Amino acid sequence: MKLENLISKYINSTEKVLKEIQRKDEVNISNEDIDNIIKYVEDYLKDAKYYRDQKKLDTSLTSIAYCEGLLDALRLIGVVNFDWTKREENKK
């Protein structure tokens, strides 16, 4: 699948979810729930590395984007703390 088609697929899916999303009245998140989400992060990271090594770069990009999205979500709801590495640090 071409990268442009893959991107369109994910955009369409996200737009559909945003139209249909339902909020829960009360939200509680346990350490077990956080651990489960972090396990997904680790799995997506593993997938991103695997697909990068297989030269399936579109799938690798998708996997690492999911990974970063889950980490950002955990940070935004205030259950983890971290800072993304700055570009200058990545160049070293």
| Domain spans in the chain, listed from the N-terminal domain onward | 31-79
Q: What is the pLDDT of residues 9-45, one digit of tens each?
A: 888 888 998 899 888 888 889 999 999 999 999 999 9
pLDDT recorded at residue 92: 58
Residue 90 confidence (pLDDT) above 80: no
Max intra-chain CA distance, the chain: 46
pLDDT > 90: percent of the chain = 62
Determine the pLDDT at residue 9: 87
CB 88 within 8 A of CB 32: no
pTM of the model: 0.78
Whole-angstrom Cα distance, residue 12 to residue 5? 11
